């Protein structure tokens, strides 16, 4: 598989007001040197606690937020350096599905208009062909033809997400950034939408960046997974490697927090404790050290670089090679 998206050293900081009147604004490093690749047809999961920078990363890729620095190569083209016209054109290939389908749908437009709008904007269809294509898209995502003239408020959350997906598909994108696409939905509906996204990937050869805080969902959807903590990627591996042999203590703690649907089984290891530190003033050394059960003196002083642990498995921990042994000695 060829590389479709390559991101290197992406950074974004926001200026935020200080909590004292008259004090200078502070810098919140939301995305702090993120690098990863996604191959064509692959699904990369981006996971981490709320506020870790994963949604900001997704928006930076499409330049819905402007990066401070770093490169974004999409299909060997430099997205970060594109002008307005080039960017509008490439957004046909790079689309986003949002967490809250209701707020991303115009309540005054009918479903047919909402799904057909991108066809008009990108001049992909005219006249009667627009309605024909919209009806075909509605069928693909499991909406009935009688839904064409209805308004978004007449639908359930799952149906609204189907409308959002149909609108995204209208421009035949290659990459979809799905930002928490099922987290606002009931559990039974989540499974339907996840299955729909997988079916569409197979049919249209789509590539996904799937952003979620839920490692349970990520396991079902993703080929590889990147774990973010305080704006940085701390572990990246195949789903198989990450779920069976995590080598960063933060990943291990996140996995321990995933509920087991079996009352006979109990967690063997400690659940992640403590608050996520402020990205305005992150801890020295390894940012995870105040919450890490394996922290040692070096962890308070030196930030560990993301380094190869095994083939295709990278981790930013001074003790990546020993995390498995620590785990066994604690159990």
Cα–Cα distance between 229 and 252 in angstroms, integer? 13
Q: Considering beta carbons, is residue 177 or 299 the nearer one to ligand SF4?
A: 299
CB of 50 to ligand SF4, least distance (A): 20
SS3 254: helix
CB of 318 to ligand SF4, least distance (A): 4
Closest CA to 229 of 16, 51, 14: 51
Q: Considering beta carbons, is residue 254 or 299 the nearer one to ligand SF4?
A: 299
Cα–Cα distance between 310 and 217 in angstroms, integer? 25
Please calculate the CA angle 56-62-67 and round it to the nearest 5 degrees: 55
SS3 72: strand
CA distances, 219 to each of 46, 181, 211, 214, 228 (Å): 11, 15, 12, 9, 16
Q: Considering beta carbons, is residue 181 or 249 the nearer one to ligand SF4?
A: 249
H-state helical runs in 62-210: 84-90, 111-121, 128-140, 157-169, 187-204
Cα–Cα distance between 143 and 166 in angstroms, integer? 9
58, 70, 318, 298 alpha-carbon torsion, rounded to 10°: -120
305, 309, 312, 314 alpha-carbon torsion, rounded to 10°: -30
CB of 68 to ligand SF4, least distance (A): 25
Q: Considering beta carbons, is residue 143 or 236 the nearer one to ligand SF4?
A: 236
CB of 295 to ligand SF4, least distance (A): 4
CB of 270 to ligand SF4, least distance (A): 13
Cross-strand partners of 46:
211, 226
| Site of tokens 């690098």 | 35
Query: Which residues form the interface with ligand SF4 (CB under 6 A)?
Result: 248-249, 286, 288-289, 292, 294-295, 299, 304, 317-319
Q: Considering beta carbons, is residue 155 or 250 the nearer one to ligand SF4?
A: 250
CB of 36 to ligand SF4, least distance (A): 19
Q: Considering beta carbons, is residue 185 or 299 the nearer one to ligand SF4?
A: 299
Q: Considering beta carbons, is residue 210 or 229 the nearer one to ligand SF4?
A: 229
Beta 69-74 vs 77-78: how paired, if at all? antiparallel
Q: Which residues contact 180 (CB under 8 A, 6 or more apart)?
A: 55, 99, 211, 212, 213
Q: Considering beta carbons, is residue 193 or 234 the nearer one to ligand SF4?
A: 234
CB of 286 to ligand SF4, least distance (A): 3
Closest CA to 233 of 8, 4, 26: 8
CB of 248 to ligand SF4, least distance (A): 6
């Amino acid at each position: 598989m060829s590389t479709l998206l390559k991101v290197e050293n992406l950074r974004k900081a926001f200026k935020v007001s200080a909590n004292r009147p008259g004090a200078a604004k502070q810098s919140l490093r939301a995305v702090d040197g993120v690098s990863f690749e996604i191959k064509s047809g692959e699904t990369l999961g981006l996971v981490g606690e709320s506020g870790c920078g994963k949604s900001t990363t997704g928006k930076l890729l499409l330049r819905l937020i402007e990066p401070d620095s770093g490169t974004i190569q999409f299909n060997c083209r430099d997205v970060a350096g594109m002008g307005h016209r080039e960017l509008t054109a490439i957004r046909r290939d790079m689309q986003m599905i949002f967490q809250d389908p209701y707020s991303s749908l115009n309540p005054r437009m009918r479903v047919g208009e909402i799904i057909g709008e991108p066809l008009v904007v990108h001049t992909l269809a005219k006249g009667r062909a627009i309605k024909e294509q919209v009806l075909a898209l509605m069928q693909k995502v499991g909406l009935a033809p009688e839904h064409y003239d209805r308004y978004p408020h007449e639908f359930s959350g799952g149906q609204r997400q189907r409308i959002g997906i149909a609108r995204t598909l209208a421009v035949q994108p290659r990459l979809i950034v799905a930002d928490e696409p099922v987290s606002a939905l009931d559990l039974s509906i989540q499974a339907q939408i996840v299955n729909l996204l997988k079916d569409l990937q197979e049919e249209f050869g789509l590539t996904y960046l799937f952003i979620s805080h839920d490692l349970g969902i990520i396991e079902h959807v993703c080929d590889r997974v990147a774990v973010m903590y305080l704006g940085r990627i701390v572990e990246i591996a195949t789903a198989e490697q990450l779920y069976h042999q995590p080598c960063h203590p933060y990943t291990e703690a996140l996995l321990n927090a995933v509920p087991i649907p079996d009352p006979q089984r109990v967690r063997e290891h400690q659940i992640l404790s403590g608050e996520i530190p402020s990205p305005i003033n992150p801890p020295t050394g390894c940012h995870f050290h105040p919450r890490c059960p394996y922290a040692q003196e070096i962890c308070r002083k030196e930030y560990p670089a993301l380094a190869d642990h095994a083939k295709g498995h990278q981790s930013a921990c001074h003790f990546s090679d020993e995390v498995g042994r620590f785990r066994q000695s604690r159990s």
